[in-house]
Amino acid sequence: MNSPTVKPLVELRRACKVYDSLAGSVTALDGIDLQINPGEFLVVTGKSGSGKTTLVNILTGLDRATSGEIWVIGEPMHDYGPERAAKVRGKSMGVVFQSFELLPTLTVLQNVMLPMDFARRYPIWEQRKRALSLLEQVEIADHAKKLPTALSGGQQQRLAIARAMANDPALLIADEPTGSLDSATAEIIMDIFDRFIESGRTVFMVTHDRDIARRGSRIVTLSDGKIVGVEDSTHA
């Protein structure tokens, strides 16, 4: 599995997440231990309600774990409040959602520029250039001036990936990125992820699609908030 000589990019130690509601407590993640190495394309799969999205949320700092440790690129996300977590995301992570989550009142170009603006990583004159370059990489530069609603589902997800790559993150985290797409478009998205891996970066992807999951280098299966299986894919 993991080489003992390589320092993991992401490490989860006994990560737990419990939701409280009027109906009582629900354990979404139950003591997850997981490591992701640099350059790895890790895919998490499982049935609906198995805890996949919760795992994405605590990994990205969008939500906090109830207990356990979550280390991402040397940052203890479990200790971080929303502010620190947002900074880490802006600097080191790109996040892609199933429902794209694009800002409807910004153009395609402006959507990609927004994370750069927040992270203050590039001078303003470079932001536009870089955003156009990213849009070219995902082959939607022609639509730069359009609003996201004018794009097809596949184009919107490509835009979401371009936005996720805006600050040149070491880690791309994708939650069901192909869940809303047809199989042909899903292939295009996966090709983009492959190119991302080829450039030496790491991808963490959640999917319930077994065919898509096989594109990863390692497949982790979740059930009832626990890891029930780990397998290396032939893809790697």
Query: Which residues are near another protein by CB under 8 A?
Result: 19-23, 57, 60-64, 82-83, 86-87, 89-91, 95, 97, 99, 101-107, 110-111, 113-119, 124-125, 127-128, 163-164, 166-167
Residue 130: in which H helix or E strand, if any?
helix 124-137
**Would you say 9 or 119 has its CB closer to another protein?**
119
Q: Is the dihedral angle over the CA atoms 215, 16, 85, 112 positive or is it negative?
A: positive
Return the structure tokens found at 220.
């982790």
The answer to whether residues 111 and 131 touch, using CB atoms and an 8 Å cutoff, is no
Q: How far is the CB of 200 from another protein (least distance, A)?
A: 21
Q: How is residue 173 written in tokens?
A: 């985290």
Distance CA 71, CA 65 (A): 12
- Least separation, in Å, of the C-beta of 207 and another protein? 19
- Measured between alpha carbons, how far is 110 from 93 in angstroms, rounded to an integer? 19
Nearer to another protein, 166 or 213 (CB): 166
In angstroms, give the least distance from the CB of 26 to another protein. Answer: 9
Which contiguous run of DSSP H or E holds residue 231? strand 226-232
Question: Nearest approach, Cβ of 5 to another protein (angstroms)?
Answer: 32
**Closer to another protein at the Cβ: 63 or 187?**
63
Q: How far apart are CA 130 and CA 140, in angstroms?
A: 14
Comparing CB distances to another protein, the nearer of 20 and 198 is 20
By beta-carbon proximity to another protein, the closer residue of 6 and 26 is 26
- Smallest distance, another protein to C-beta of residue 236, A: 28
Q: Which is nearer to another protein, 117 or 194 (CB)?
A: 117
Sign of CA dihedral 149, 126, 41, 9: negative
Phi, psi of 203 (to 5 degrees): -125, 135
Smallest separation (angstroms) from another protein to the CB of 142: 20
